[in-house]
Amino acid sequence: MRLHRNLVFTVIDSMKLIFNEGEYADKVVEKALKRDKRWGARDRKFVAETIYDMVRWKRLYNEIAGTKSHYTTENVWKNFAVLAVLKGYKLPDWNQLQGVPERRIKGKFDELQKERVFKESIPDWMDELGVKELGVEKWTKEISALNEQAEVILRVNTLKTTKLALQKKLEDEGIETEPIRGYEYALKLKERANVFTTEAFKLGFFEVQDASSQLVAEYLDVKPGMKVIDTCAGAGGKSLHLAALMENKGQLISTDIYESKLKKLKIRARRNGVHNITTKVIDSLKVMKKMKSTADRVLIDAPCSGIGVLKRNPDSKWKLQPEFVDNIIKTQAEILEEYSQLVKVGGKMVYATCSILPSENEKQVQLFLNSHPEFQLEKQNKVSAYKSGYDGFYMALLERIS
Ligand SMILES: C[S@@+](CC[C@H](N)C(=O)[O-])C[C@H]1O[C@@H](n2cnc3c(N)ncnc32)[C@H](O)[C@@H]1O
């Protein structure tokens, strides 16, 4: 493949935004793709995938290029040269790519395959944590799967359309999709495309949501007419799905500690044709206290390390800190303790994370159950990234029995 100057320069500039300005990779990709309206599907694919790969393989490329963590323009180019050689791109005659040591790069790459921290391009602390939590064999498989490119998955909004009708509509707009067995509401894009500019999106026919994440709302076993509280609703990915499963009937209360996220939720709810959501910012203890023992269903989509979604957010490998993981585990326990009180007797609760670490998942739930005999575990699903091919997730369904 021939490298195009404006595409590569977009990638180089994007790396500086991610590593020097601390911007999120997915937002930077979004911005980068808007840079030139004339780019076709292949150009867009190159830009998005190359930015993600440069972030994902940062440690490996640093080691091969000898750039360590210094992210100067010169070093970004050196890392790009490593990527270009490893992907077999024909190196153009540009100043920045003069004298690239192709054979040395390939040799060093082979040599580093023996060490997991380089092979999988992860910080030492994360590797140690993964091994401690999952054991070497499982962790090795998980981290390898989490380094693959994430596919674009849509969730059909059944309040407005059907899966078949959406597929047809997108096809008319030049986007080919296919269903995924075992995921009732999911369509997978055959090729990366900007779905947000489609008429189908503007009409609220779908949301972009990973296949594993789509399992969470279904797990809560909601019915039309119920009172449901989505406690950590954020911008509402799961709330919108819950509303669709409730067929817009009943009461869905979406809460979060950030008003800005709930504002986004409201905009999305309008586009989705959702009418049964009310949002509440948790700005005092009173907000939740008032709803104690009133809910048929409670979703706790807890804040977590996000280790299960590294595919989608490869920059987390470099931004996440071990202390954050320790602290978030404490927060999860507090959240479980507090929000479980919203469930009425006979009601149910789902505790979910986008992590694959037992400390955030089954161990967290077990600790909760040890001190809460009024709850019992109905089922749990530990969604492995390598077995599912999608994000790593965890969900547990608990019933309040007394
Ligand atoms: C995993 S994200 C939620 C994603 C969201 N449910 C979705 O499907 O798009 C976790 C959310 O918990 C929120 N959060 C963090 N601490 C919280 C707390 N103490 N109470 C309620 N929400 C909290 C965060 O702001 C974040 O939006």
Q: Residue 197: which CATH number?
A: 3.30.70.1170
Residue ranges at the known binding site: 256, 283, 301
Instruction: Answer yes or no: do 228 and 102 share one domain.
Output: no
Atom of ligand 1 nearest to the CA of 352: 1
Work out the average pLDDT over 161-172: 98
pTM for the model stands at 0.96
CA dist list (Å): 362 to 142, 215, 380: 17, 17, 8
What local confidence, expressed as pLDDT, does residue 339 receive? Answer: 98
Q: Is residue 234 part of a domain?
A: yes
Asked if the structure places residue 296 within a domain, the reply is: yes
Whole-angstrom CA distances from 365 to 79, 187, 343, 378 are 42, 31, 16, 12
Under 8 Å between Cβ of 207 and 237 = yes
CA of 226 to the centre of ligand 1 (A): 22
Closest Cα partner for 197 from 47, 311, 30?
30
Establish if 142 belongs to a structural domain: no
Q: What are phi and psi of 69, to 5 degrees?
A: -100, 5
Instruction: Say how many Å lie between the CA of residue 232 and the centre of ligand 1.
Output: 4
Q: How many angstroms is it from 139 CA to the middle of ligand 1?
A: 26
Give the pLDDT score at 157.
Answer: 98
354 flagged as catalytic: yes
- Specify whether 230 is located in the same domain as 159: no
Examine the pLDDT at 69 and tell me if it is beyond 90: no
Residues 332-388: tens digit of each pLDDT: 999 999 999 999 999 999 999 999 999 999 999 999 999 999 999 999 999 999 999
pLDDT value, residue 193: 84
195 and 220 housed in the same domain = no
Indicate whether 186 belongs to any domain. Answer: yes
What is the CB-side half-sphere exposure of residue 154 using CA atoms within 13 A? 32
Contact 281, 256 (CB under 8 A): yes
Mean pLDDT within 390-394: 98
Identify whether residues 199 and 52 lie together within a single domain.
no
**243 and 277 in contact (C-beta within 8 Å)?**
yes
pLDDT, the chain, mean: 96
CA pair distance 329, 358, nearest whole angstrom: 11
Closest residue by Cα to residue 232 from 293, 288, 286: 288
Owning domain of residue 59: 5-119
Q: Is the pLDDT of residue 70 over 80?
A: no
66 and 198 share a domain? no
| Residues making up the chain, counted from first to last | 402
CA distance 22 to 35: 20
Which of 101, 119, 137 is the C-terminal boundary of a domain? 119
Catalytic residue among 200, 235, 298, 354: 354
Q: Is 317 in the same domain as 226?
A: yes
Q: Which helix (H) or strand (E) holds 85?
A: helix 73-86
Task: Say if residue 273 is in the same domain as residue 340.
Answer: yes
CA distance 53 to 61: 10
Dist. CA 168 → ligand 1 center (Å) = 34
Mutational pocket test of ligand 1: of 212, 214, 232, 259, the residue with most ligand atoms within 8 Å of the beta carbon? 232
Running DSSP on this structure, what letter comes out for residue 91? P
Q: What is the position in ligand 1's atom list of the atom closest to the CA of 353?
A: 1
CATH number of 387's domain:
3.40.50.150
**Which of 208, 224, 242 is the endpoint of a domain?**
208
Residues within a 6 A CB radius of ligand 1:
231-238, 256-258, 261, 282, 301, 303, 335
Q: Tell me the DSSP string of 169-199.
A: HHHHTT--EEEETTEEEEEEESS---GGGSH
Bridge partners, 189 (sequence order): 177
Assess whether 197 and 238 both reside in one domain: no
Are residue 361 and residue 300 in the same domain, yes or no?
A: yes
364/386 same-domain check: yes
Residue 131 lies in a domain: no
Structural domain total, the chain: 3
Region 31-37: mean pLDDT is: 89
Look at residues 104, 119, 134 and tell me which one is the last residue of a structural domain: 119
